[in-house]
Amino acid sequence: MLAAEEEETPGPPVDRASWEARSSKASVALVDDCLGVLRRVADGLDINYKRNYIGLTEHGQANNFVIFVPKKNWVHIRARLRDVDLWGQRLESAGIEVLAGGRGGGSFRFNLRRDDIQANEELIRELFAAAYGEEGH
């Protein structure tokens, strides 16, 4: 597990509409864009809407090597990565916001905006592939 974000709290079911109301349609659409990139890494991935984050499933089973927390104008992303310094440098060099304290505990945190994914899709794919590979795939 990445952090407390993965713990579920009781309450009504959460779906896409819940996340769009909580953040924005544009940021949830950005998660869809990320899913498109992720599917270039592994075909069987899909979105799993949770109360505190949007996770992933692989062939119907939870596989949260990357989780998403849509905000109004961007998506906060946590990825399980070992070489957080390397990824921090690569993303910062590309102009992507790496969060302070986002380079520890086996997870790497950064914010992604629509322009970031459009300009750096291959870099994002490489990051997702590294996180997926570190899960033993």
Per residue of the chain (137 residues), what is the pLDDT tens digit?
444 444 556 678 899 999 999 999 999 999 999 999 999 999 999 999 999 999 999 999 999 999 999 999 999 999 999 888 899 999 999 999 998 765 556 788 999 999 999 999 999 999 999 999 976 55
Between CA 66 and CA 61 the distance in angstroms is 14
Confidence at residue 20, expressed as pLDDT on a 0 to 100 scale = 97
pTM: predicted TM-score of the whole model, two decimal places:
0.88
Confidence at residue 50, expressed as pLDDT on a 0 to 100 scale = 95
Confidence at residue 110, expressed as pLDDT on a 0 to 100 scale = 95
Domain of 17, in residue numbers: 4-134
Instruction: Indicate which CATH number applies to the domain containing 89.
Output: 3.90.1150.200
How many domains does the chain contain in total?
1
Confidence at residue 136, expressed as pLDDT on a 0 to 100 scale = 55
Work out the burial of residue 123: count CB atoms within 10 Å of its CB; fewer than 13 is exposed, 13-18 middle, 19 or more buried.
Answer: middle
Confidence at residue 29, expressed as pLDDT on a 0 to 100 scale = 97
Taking alpha carbons only, the member of 55, 20, 37, 65 closest to residue 122 is: 37
Whether the CB-CB separation of 67 and 1 falls below 8 Å is answered with: no
